[in-house]
Amino acid sequence: MCGIAGWLSGPQAPTAEPGALKAMVRALHHRGPDGQGLWLDGPAALGHARLSIIDLEGGAQPLANEDGRIQVSFNGEIFNHLELRERLVRRGHAFRTRSDTEVLVHLYEDLGDEFVHELNGQFALALWDGRRRRLVLARDRLGIRPLYYTVAAGRLLFASEVKALFALPEVERGFDAQGLAGTFTCWAPLAPRTVWQGVHCLPPGHLLTLQADAAPSGHQVRRYWDWPFQAREAGASAHPGWSDERWGDELRTLLLDAVRLQLRADVPVGAYLSGGLDSSIITTLVHRHTTTPLRSFSLRFADAEFDESDAQRALASHLGSRHSEVHVHQADIAGGFTRLVRHAEMPLVRTAPVPMMLLADHVRASGFKVVLTGEGADEAFGGYDLFKEAAVRRFVARAPRSRWRGRLLSRLYPYLAHSPAAAGAMAQGFFGTGLGATGQPHFAHMLRAATTRRILPLFSQAWRAQWPAHEPAALLGAVVPESFATWPALDRDQYVEAHTLMSGYLLAAQGDRAAMAASVEARFPFLDHRVVEFACGMPARLRLCGLHDKVLLRRAFAAELPAVIARRHKQPFRSPDAACFFDGGRLREPAAALLDPDALAEAGLFDPAAVARLVDKCARGRAIGFGDNMAFVGVLSTMALQAQFVGQGAPAVLAA
């Protein structure tokens, strides 16, 4: 994996010096420690920090076509590059390298902007077309790789991470009020918004284009792909004549091909093994159906509530994998938190990305740059308890006075020591909220949003005044297509999940950023766009049937997995939250310094008295619910961002 940066200057912009581009690329060194490349030509500039994985000797970037008039800086992998190369060679294109990057310039020569439709990969790229004098930015369909842009000093600036934009003094650093409110509703701002004023995120599956003679603010952004849900009758599918056995056969073939493609690399490839169904399927496919030696990596938690090492070891033994694990204690999470926040560049409401960063550190220390993971299966195949929760709440809404329907709630979240569904009448009151809104885009996510939004009253009065009308219904309603209301309920819930938590949080803070902090590339076979399109076309009953999740996925691979894995209840990846930052009732450093009342008052983001009450509650071990824990982590992470990016001394911290 790599980092990209650069700009396109408008007609009135002053000439930029190479030193500015060097500063941007230097800020991305962790994404590409194996080499740096710079290219400048008039108004256009492309920079690259390289993590060499394919064509180790010849894949330096930026890279040009035959006549040098098309240049590209590319972050990611094109998994079908060999097949595309064969086609392009037949059409007369000459290649100088074996890298997947060179496929991009030749494919663009043939197809223009439509070249993105031919790519099977995870990528963010910047392409300068010197013939047409235009810049093209593109991001992969699912949003696996990040890409940010802003307009400053007469230029459209872009980079893989915000810190590369902040390396330039003309880019102001400050929080965006609506971006913060979105984060503390949906766990992440909804693209294109970010938590930074004036900084935008290119949404997944989108292209940005800008002509050299246009003002930078005149750039055009358009979608080229989206999750292909569509209006249809409940229970219908894209292939009504297929039997369940046919669906299973097709899924096995497709997922195996996705794994085969994503194993392509000129360096060793490992795999994350969580102990759950999804990573178990990926590691099993690697072991049984390819010649790649299986090297697996896992997390082990000192807190038994979060530990899944028994299941991990069972599968590693079953497969005969060469396996290692990282044993994580609460102090490890506290110690790595501010480092992770600096890489995430956004507030967090959970600590879970920190252990993933520590695991990536171990992967890199073990001599690996690439790992396969099971991420994306829950979103595509209906695996989250949120989908079950929404189904039960819709069931209750059809007969709200029924007592036995409400009792189904007690079957949710069996893995939680303090399940929100096990508190009797109080639970039924909470889960019964908003039952009249079953057709609204936010229905499945309204309870998560209500819990997450408990942090908002902790903000200072000045900040609270900036979002008086901020409501989840309006926020989520803005991300759905016009035909959304005609889709089956599960399709609607999955679409919102994919466009909020998955792309904004899981693939960002917990995915790309946690891995790239250690210069490790994570790959996601379940997010091969062909697999996602296949899942969107399945009948809903093969995704979620009653309270049975990922029905087809479990059936299709049951024969290849140990029964204890195939039948295991979904346990989302979690780690201890507020408790990590206390030792004997006292705040550990650096949390103590960040949450000091004077520091809070100086930053002006939060009400120091309100935060002090929350800290005291957590110190006494009384923060056992999601709301308090998420609020604590949210305040702490926001203050860490303030200290590292906005406050005095931030430039020095960024340079480090």
Residues with catalytic annotation?
Answer: 2
* SS3 category, 264: coil
Closest CA to 283 of 265, 368, 275, 550: 275
Q: Give the Cα separation of 636 and 349 in Å (integer).
A: 9
**In angstroms, rounded to a whole number, what is the distance separating the alpha carbons of residues 547 and 409?**
10
Supply the Cα-derived Rg of the chain in whole angstroms: 24
Q: Nearest-CA neighbor of 169 among 149, 194, 152? A: 152
Q: Can you name the residues that pair with 322 across neighbouring β-strands? A: 295
Which residue, among 327, 286, 362, has the nearest Cα to 515 in the 3D structure? Answer: 362
Report the C-alpha gap between 81 and 104 in whole angstroms.
9
Would you state the torsion angle of the CA atoms of residues 22, 201, 224, 448, taken in this order, to the nearest 10 degrees? 150
Residues 502, 225: contact at Cβ < 8 Å?
Answer: no
The DSSP code for 559 is G
Structure tokens at 301: 């938690």
Q: Identify the three-state secondary structure at position 35.
A: strand
Phi (first) and psi of residue 107, to 5 degrees: -65, -40
Q: How far is residue 297's CA from residue 326's CA, in Å, rounded to a whole number?
A: 8
Contact 502, 379 (CB under 8 A): yes
157 by Cβ neighbours in 10 Å (0-12 / 13-18 / 19+) ranks as: buried
Structure tokens at 179: 């971006």
Three-point CA angle 347, 350, 146, nearest 5°? 50
